[in-house]
Structure 1
Amino acid sequence: MYFKFKAYCFLIGFFFIGFQFIWSQDQKVADSLEIIYKKGQTSGIARLELLRNLSFNQVNDLDAYIKYAEELIMLSKAENNFLYLYRGYLQKGNAHRLAGNLDLALENFFMSIDAAIKAEYKEGEGIAKMTVADTYSEMGNSNNASIYYEKAITILRETDNIIALASALLNAGDEAFNTKNYELALQYFEESGALFKEQDYLIGTGYNLGNMGMVYAEQGKDALAKSNINEAIAILEELEDYYAISEYLTYMADIYLKQGNPAASLNYAERSLELAEKYGLKKQISESNLKLAELHEQLGDLPQSYAHYKNHIIYRDSFINLENVASMADMRTNFEVSQKQTEVNLLNQQKRNQLIILGFTGLLLLTLFWYYRNISKEKKRSEDLLLNILPEETARELKKSGKVKAKKFAAVTVMFTDFVGFTRYAESLDPEILVESVNFYFSKFDEIMETYGLEKIKTIGDAYMSAGGLEDPKSDHALRMVKAAFDILEFVKASRIENHNNFTRFDIRIGINTGPVVAGVVGTKKFSYDIWGDSVNIASRMESHSAPGQINIGHTTYNLIKEDYDCECRGKLQVKNRGKMKMYWVHASKNV
């Protein structure tokens, strides 16, 4: 059995909080977000998003991973927010799975499925069913794993999440490999590999290459196996994703052993064990020890062979023990029974509450009389508030149907701004002064967006995100966004010179990109309008590769504004997880 693609790598999709975007796990991000967490100044959706990203990025501390996921679950229940409840259970399940606690992982994944269904979130339901399949696979229950993979793939084919679909296909290929159906495994891998390549999703490509390499190794195609696995290891080392590398290294050890090179084989097996022990990966520690036991036995070093085999048994038993395996068959049934009992208890409580409610009928009638006298004013206030949160057309749809369908837009221009050196100030300044300073800037940015008919999406920490072309018939959103960016630069520059209120003053970086996005509303009690897609991620990369006082744009935006603005080609710059991308500085307008 070989490594599963980690479903939670893409669960964040495109959400951000604090100072960075979250696409793949990054302990540095978790460390920076803990500063915000400890200040305790977030609430509502912002708090849920903070906990979600803290849990997701705790790659070096599984206990912290679980702690933040549990707090996310608790707050989601209090907010009656099934979307975040789904995410909390999913991340808690992933943490237990990494720790080798498969019984707890499966329990949380089933809860995640139920929460996703209640949230009417098809994509999440598909992803959660994939994690159930992954867990059954790791337990050796190939039949249940295959059933849940088919369920996940069927659901995900109905969604727009190509990465999730590709991951389910990749893991279904793993299951075919486990049953030695190598041709079926390669079929799954070829489809998933094409989808990852289409989406330019580097980490998925890495796993796909590694898994294909291991199929080739089993088929005796050693040259193809080595080529694919070495390429996969190179990609995953760059991404600092060591969980799969440890597994792939044991296969490299097998290949070199078959080729009569025990020294190289031993080296790969030792590297596998070193990585597994460093990151506390029980399953990989067990398998690496077993491989080293076999190698030392063949080399005639029986004491070393025995020592490694003993460690293999210890970690194997801690990873999957017989009691947990026996209890798995009844877990789902027990879970559903407990849910029914909860419903019965709730019904009894409701009957008791009816008697209490009768006593308050008179008070309720008086309250309703007051309410209807003031309803017009309150309705106007709520509508104004909704328009401050959502675009006008989206707000109308929400009022009419109570929900908003996600929409695809073929061309939207996205801008990100970021204050230079903000993190350093955040750690040392009084919170009130810092908030006043940021509010000073963002209030003006809001005015600028309104002037050019652009949509503010959100602010997170010192990051400001806006978009043009959402539900807007005009096609000049790229030009309007660049004009707004220059107004922002001028305002920031003037503020640094004048500084009437002695606020903290910053310099600013700006990044812009144009392309397709998906937009929609998340949340049930507290709505949040957001946009997702690769175009958004590229816009973030444009900002992070910009410079103080500069506007950095992608190639698509350049083609839309080059007749109106002087632009300087920066060439192709290396971007993490993206390869090389063409970028441009935007200078003065040609029409001035």
Structure 2
Amino acid sequence: MFFKSNSRYVLVACLLLCTQVSFAQDRNVADSLKVIYEEGNTTGVDELELLRNLSFNTANDIEESLKYANELIELSRKREDYIYLYRGYSIRGQVYQRGGNLTMALESYIKASEAASSINDKSFEGGAYLTIADVYSTIGNASNAESYYSKSIDILRETNDSLTLASALLNAGDEAFKNEHFDKALDYFEESGLLFKQVNYPIGTAYNLGNVGMVYAEQGKDALAEQHINEALVLLEELEDYYPITVYLTYMSDIYSRRKDFSAALNYAQRSLDLATQYKLKEQISDANLTLSELYEEAGNQEASLKHYKEHIAYRDSVINLENVQQIADLRTNFEVSQKQIEVDLLEQKRKNQRIVTYSIAIVLIFIAILAILWYRRYLFIRKTKRIIEEERDKSDRLLLNILPEETANELKLYGKVKAKKHGLVTVLFTDFKGFTSYSENLSPETLVETVDFYFSKFDTIIEKHGLEKIKTIGDAYMCAGGLNVTEDNHAHKMILAAKEITAFVEETKNNIAVNDLTFDIRIGINSGPVVAGVVGSKKFAYDIWGDTVNVASRMESMSEPGKINISEGTYELIKDSWVCEYRGEIDVKNRGKLKMYFVD
């Protein structure tokens, strides 16, 4: 159904224009701009404006549009131009959203909102609220969506930006339409339609006409619905904006289906699917397949109905990222097909025996009983599906906690990103195996991995036992830290306990005949002090810590001796009352000068 995605496009378009004039994506314009881009003669603001126009006018080609948007973002960040940084993130969010990647869309819109806060312009602030509201609406969070739409509209009414206000009203109308508040939706559309005409913005007028048509279609006012949707289609075809065309075509299909004109309804639905497939619009591919499935089912073509229903499920769930849904889709499809077949059989039996009152009553009772069973099975199916989804979500949460500290993982789930954080006092440990590099050269890859895993798996168990955080491994080096969680205290003492267990395990392994081919001597170094912690990367992201404290901890390890725990003066001051330590004196360290070191006895 045509809700936020199309209206969001109107919003981004109007915010990116330098003046409020009629403007839409144009491939010919894009080709001309690419020639200028390839010449490489533009500089300053002209270069930023060129990238903005290129990204906007290539929006139907997701990869190409993202390329220019990312280049615009990078260049704007270097030049600290927050207006174009805002525009770059807004376009990128729009492109991701049209491609069905809601996670990346929301991340881009949030970054656009951060850029807007540096501009001190209510038009940008209102626009930022609007894009965030759109994503909340798409994922079905009506409460958040309505809240952000209201904030956006209130702010934009204080400005002279009629075009962005019209877009916000249009989107808020879509949200009301989605929640079946049709009168409220028409009120929003009436105001937005007047504003779009005042500023002469054809694409906004087209969306407004189409959305009004959809409201009339839902109210059963087919004549009015067809009139408005057809007017919208004419404008959109001239503007070559295909996403909303695919949506309105499915509504035209619904209208002709209600009129029992199967041929026309099927033609509109197939046109919608063809356009959505051509431009890789996942959400509309899903909706068009669902419409075709329902049409074929009504016509009695169960095979074609089942085929399109499976396509609908596959594309729908590729947008919302559920696992194992193909199996669920098959179960639901089989259930619905079998239910329809039972209804057909019962009706046929009822027609054959309608003159015999006794048989008619029996058939009615059987029919009621079957419906009760089917409804009960449906209830069990829904409950099972919810349980599967909850289990998958729990798996995802456990996997995230294996990668990130709990506090960081919660921040990532809540906000979609993690801010870098400075910790005033953290204890960092490094270990390294003596002679591992030369030893590993004579091992097969399988044996090398098995050897490292044998030791590091035990190290993981020890670290987790003492409530510490594993940071990473690099070759045969192992790194962990304590004190990264707000509630964690006495981390230096815990780290010494963990180091003692690690050295004891390594020594025990050397004395174990069964594994003596895997034995090594280990050096351990520990340092305490401030660090900066954060998450790097967007796909295979990793949690890491940085700072002089980490560098010194690494130097403590390299200056240690086999089987020894070498600690810095900073760690010694934290544990000296609990542990006996041997002062080693001040030792020269590369790039650091002389550092005091201690062995923990």
| TM-score, length basis structure 2 | 0.54
1:335-484 mapped onto 2 (5 Å cutoff) = 337-338=418-419
Letter of the aligned partner of 2:419 in structure 1?
S
Note closer, same or farther for the CA distance 1:169–1:15 as it changes in structure 2 (3 Å cut).
Answer: closer
Q: 3-state SS of the aligned residue for 2:240? A: coil
C-alpha displacement of 1:44? 2.1
Contact 1:246 1:284 in 2 (8 A): yes
- Contact persistence 1:196–1:202 (CA under 8 A): yes
Q: Residue 233 of structure 1 aligns to a residue in which SS? A: helix
CA distance 1:43–1:236, shift in 2 (3 Å) = same
Give the Å deviation of 1:81: 1.3
Matches within 5 A, 1:78-93: 78-93=78-93
In 1, distance between residues paired with 2:292 and 2:423?
50
For residues 329 and 63 of structure 1, do their structure 2 counterparts lie closer, same or farther at Cα, with a shift above 3 Å needed?
A: farther
1:110 and 2:110 matched: yes
Letter in 2 for 1:52: R
Q: Tell me, yes or no, if the aligned pair for 1:58 and 1:64 is still in contact at 8 Å.
A: yes
For the 8 Å contact 1:12–1:23, the answer to whether it is kept is no
| Cα distance per residue 1:237-263 (max 9 Å; x no partner) | 111111101101111111111111111
Hey, what's the Cα distance between the residues in 1 that align with 2:22 and 2:199?
Answer: 17
Return the alpha-carbon distance in structure 2 between the equivalents of residues 307 and 136 of structure 1: 31
Question: For 1:229 and 1:342, how far apart are their aligned partners in 2?
Answer: 58
User: Judging changes above 3 Å, is the alpha-carbon distance between structure 1 residues 43 and 209 closer, same or farther for their aligned structure 2 residues?
Assistant: same
Q: Would you say 1:286 and 2:367 are equivalent positions? A: no
Q: Equivalent residue for 1:474? A: none
Give the secondary structure class of the aligned counterpart of 2:117.
helix
Aligned amino acid, residue 284 of structure 1: Q
1:192 is aligned to: 192
Relative distance call for 1:303 and 1:349 in structure 2 (3 A) is closer
Shift of 1:22: 8.4
2:14 to 10, 17, 24: 10
Cα deviation 1:5-32 (Å, max 9, x = unaligned):
112221222369xxxx982211211111
Is the 8 Å Cα contact of residues 66 and 92 (structure 1) preserved in structure 2? yes
Residue identity matched to 1:11:
L
Aligned length: 347
Contact 2:76 2:85 in 1 (8 A): yes
Name 1:94's counterpart in structure 2: 94
Distance 1:117 1:342, change over 3 A: farther
Cα deviation, residue 337, structure 1 = 5.0
Tell me the equivalent position of 1:426.
Answer: none
| Aligned residues of 1:256 and 1:264 also touching (Cα < 8 A) | yes
Distance change >3 Å, CA 13–CA 222, structure 1 → 2: same
Q: 1:33 Cα deviation (Å)?
A: 1.2
Please tell me whether the aligned partners of residues 282 and 319 of structure 2 are also in contact (alpha carbons under 8 angstroms).
yes
CA distance in 2, matches of 1:8, 1:351: 44
Amino acid in structure 2 at the alignment position of 1:114: E
Pair 329,289 (structure 1): closer, same or farther in 2 beyond 3 Å: farther
* In the alignment, structure 1 residue 46 sits paired with structure 2 residue 46: yes
Contact 2:101-2:319 at 8 Å conserved across structures: yes
Alignment of 1:290-309 (within 5 A): 290-309=290-309
Q: Which amino acid aligns with 2:314?
A: I
Amino acid in the other structure paired with 1:290: L
Shift of 1:40: 2.0
SS at match of 2:42: coil
User: Taking structure 1 as reference, are residues 293 and 329 closer, same or farther at Cα in structure 2, changes over 3 Å only?
Assistant: farther
Gaps of 5+ in 2: 324-388, 397-408, 425-530, 534-544, 550-601
Say whether the 8 Å CA contact 1:3–1:247 is kept in structure 2.
no
Letter in 2 for 1:279: Y
Give 5+ residue unaligned stretches, structure 1: 353-592
Residue 34 of structure 1 corresponds to 34
Q: CA deviation at 1:2?
A: 2.1
Structure 1 224/330 Cα, relative in aligned 2: closer, same or farther at 3 Å? Answer: farther
Matched residue, 2:271:
271
The structural deviation recorded for 1:118 is 0.7
Match of 2:129 in 1: 129
Q: Give the aligned partner of residue 65 of structure 1.
A: 65
The Cα shift of 1:331 comes to 5.4
Which residue of the partner structure matches residue 152 of structure 1? 152
Report which of the two structures shows the higher radius of gyration computed on alpha carbons: 2
- The separation in 1 between residues aligned to 2:72 and 2:422, in whole angstroms, is 25
Question: Which residue of 2 is the match for residue 177 of structure 1?
Answer: 177
SS of 1:11's equivalent in the other structure is: helix
Matched residue type, 1:309: Y
Structure 1 letter corresponding to 2:24: S
Q: Does 1:248 align with 2:239?
A: no
CA–CA distance in structure 2, aligned partners of residues 330 and 57 of structure 1:
36
Larger RCO, structure (CA 8 Å, separation 6 or more) = 1
Q: Which deviates more from structure 2 when the two are superposed, residues 89-98 or residues 318-327?
A: 318-327
> Could you tell me which amino acid in structure 1 is paired with residue 140 of structure 2?
G
Deviates further, 45-54 or 208-217: 45-54
CA distance 1:258–1:329, shift in 2 (3 Å): farther
Structure 2: which amino acid aligns with 1:261?
D
Asked whether the equivalents of residues 107 and 331 of structure 1 are also in contact (C-alpha less than 8 Å), the reply is no
Distance in 2 (alpha carbons) for counterparts of 1:50 and 1:65: 13
Encode CA deviations 1:328-383: one digit per residue, 9 max, x unaligned: 9965844575166699969x99999xxxxxxxxxxxxxxxxxxxxxxxxxxxxxxx
For 1:149, the aligned partner's letter is: Y
Measured after TM superposition, the shift of residue 109 of structure 1 is 0.2
> Secondary structure in 1 aligned to 2:17?
coil
Q: Matches of 2:22 and 2:234 in 1, distance apart? A: 22
Q: CA RMSD in A?
A: 3.0
Residues 231/330 of structure 1: CA separation in 2 closer, same or farther (3 Å cut): farther
Per-residue deviation at 1:161? Answer: 1.2
Change (3 A) 1:350 1:164: farther
Partner of 1:317: 317
Between the aligned partners of 2:70 and 2:205, the Cα distance in structure 1 is: 32
How far 1:65 moved relative to its partner?
0.9
Question: Residue 91 of structure 1 aligns to which amino acid in structure 2?
Answer: I
- Taking the aligned partners of 1:77 and 1:303, their CA distance within structure 2 comes to 54
Change (3 A) 1:199 1:339: farther
2:207–2:244: 8 Å Cα contact kept in structure 1? Answer: yes
Closer, same or farther: CA 155–251 of 1 in aligned 2, 3 Å: same
Tell me which residue corresponds to 2:542.
Answer: none
Question: Runs of 4+ in structure 1 displaced over 3 angstroms?
Answer: 322-337, 339-346, 348-352
Once the two structures are superposed, what CA deviation does each residue of 1:552-592 show, in whole Å capped at 9, x if it has no partner? xxxxxxxxxxxxxxxxxxxxxxxxxxxxxxxxxxxxxxxxx
Partners in 1 of 2:204 and 2:2 — Cα distance? 15
Q: Is the 8 A contact 2:3 2:178 kept in 1?
A: no
In the alignment, the residues of structure 2 paired with residue 339 and residue 168 of structure 1 have an alpha-carbon distance, to the nearest angstrom, of 33
Q: Distance in 2 between matches of 1:78 and 1:315?
A: 38
User: What is the alpha-carbon distance in structure 2 between the residues aligned to residue 189 and residue 68 of structure 1?
Assistant: 33
Q: Is the 8 A contact 2:61 2:279 kept in 1?
A: no
Q: CA–CA distance in 2 between the matches of 1:251 and 1:221?
A: 12
**Contact 1:89-1:112 at 8 Å conserved across structures:** yes
Aligned residues of 1:12 and 1:22 also touching (Cα < 8 A): no
Q: Give 3-state SS (helix, strand or coil) of 1:76's partner.
A: helix
3-state SS of paired residue (1:118): coil
- TM, length-normalised to structure 1: 0.55
Kindly tell me: are residues 177 and 39 of structure 1, through their superposed partners in 2, closer, same or farther at Cα, counting changes over 3 Å?
Answer: same
Letter in 2 for 1:136: Y
Distance 1:139 1:311 in 2: 20
Counterpart of 2:77 in structure 1 is: 77
